[in-house]
Amino acid sequence: MANRARLIFFLLSTYLLFAFGFGAESESYFHVIKVTSLLPPPRCSTPKGSNHHENRKGVLKLDHRYGPCSPLGHRGKPTLREILSQDQSRVNSLQSRFKAQFRQVEDTKTTTLPAHLGTLIGTGNYVVTIGLGTPKSDLTVVFDTGSNLNWVQCQPCAGQCYPQQDPIFDPSKSSTYLNISCSSQDCSLLPSATGRSTRCAASTSTCVYATAYGDGSFSTGYFARDTLALTTSDVFPNFAFGCGQSNDGLFGRTAGLLGLGRDALSLISQTAKEYGKVFSYCLPPTSSSNGGYLKFGSGDATSVKFTPLLTNPNSPSFYFLQMAGISVGGQQLNIAPSTFASPGTIIDSGTVITRLPMSAYVALRSAFREFMSNYTMAPASSLLDTCYDFTQQDTVTVPKIVLHFGGNVDVDVPLSGIFSIHSASQVCLAFAGNSDASDLAIFGNHQQQTLQVVYDLASNKVGFEVAGCT
């Protein structure tokens, strides 16, 4: 009976949309779209009104690292299937870290690399360009809310360095570069070692860092300080970072990583006096758009809705949110709130596809398929099992998906976040279910597209604003 009522509701709503012209998204529970608009343009484009990154204090231009707007070029661009495989590797790493099974690499001599690095990854999908050193070197790095340590590859690459787009940072050419000593308090903050002796380069008494990802990717080298320039007016002397002498993994020709986690060594903590532990970003709707930005400090948005930011002692650097439910096509799904209570939900800038507890995902999938029952299904793609063939359609009507969070905050998933698109013949629902009840739910970056996402660590809250890129 419930399934029949939902289908009748869908058909009636679709009729009203066309019969009475209720085309605006705000006036319905559905998206009515042209199939041709689902496919991203092959060239870089700038959405109208996207000027957040132009000459503003504390604001960096943000790009998808595999798209035509990326400063990294197109060499080594993975297929969508490979991206999904890489995404699952990242999720496995996050899950194992949460379960205390993740461990840092202590000694590069004992590091075991996978036989084939081509399908594994440990970092995120969006990049920004920063300046490091005096005179500054411009470096394109991944930013990642799931990581804390900041690091870049450094000359002379005594071990090994992977190929990157920018010239590798040479500390000998920076007048403000300083190695951190083993005896410093900063060195003791490194999470990569259990004893002080393992943090020391014996010949120089220089602090050594080591960070590894669940897929075998790693970076090791000297822990150091130098001048960081986020913009021409946002300059931070004595910024602590890893100067990588031995690095490997699929980092996509980036120079390194910018950690936006919550611990003492992250960029957010090191710039707290200037920005008050507040940052935000907006991810563009497609990899072909350059309208995204990463912004530090409090913003000027007036319509941001905030949900409480939670902390889990097992992983205090992760950003936990209280997820409360899901609606599809204007109807809230019958999911017990306890489904999301344990082990919890995190928001992550580096995970692509949102992961849900299996029972919640099954409810979402069932409702979505009912609303889409008039369309031809296509074969599953990797971890995505609800796909459609739209080649015979000019337009399609898609139910909106709303994620409900604590504090009565409802996040309307943008249209670009509902589907993962291989081609018009394989358009897939961009959500997946966890395989284990002990796995975290993860609010991924694909569903965050076009939202302004505000992290206010000082007030322990995370906010969302619709159409944040414009």
| Residue numbers annotated as active site | 144, 348
Q: Which residues contact 42 (CB under 8 A, 6 or more apart)?
A: 68, 288
CA distance 428 to 365: 11
**CA–CA distances in Å: residue 264 to residues 194, 208, 280, 402:** 17, 17, 19, 34
Contact 144, 128 (CB under 8 A): no
CA distance 191 to 133: 25
Task: Indicate if the alpha-carbon torsion angle 428, 213, 261, 174 is positive or negative.
Answer: negative
CA distance 332 to 402: 9
DSSP bridge pairs for 427: 388, 421
DSSP bridge pairs for 294: 60, 281
DSSP state of 438: T
3-state secondary structure of 201: strand
Contact 176, 237 (CB under 8 A): yes
DSSP state of 172: G
Q: Give the DSSP per-residue string, 127-159.
A: EEEEEETTTTEEEEEEEETT----EEEBTT-SS
CA distance 267 to 260: 6
First to last CA, the chain: 42
**CA–CA distances in Å: residue 214 to residues 55, 66, 269, 439:** 38, 22, 24, 15
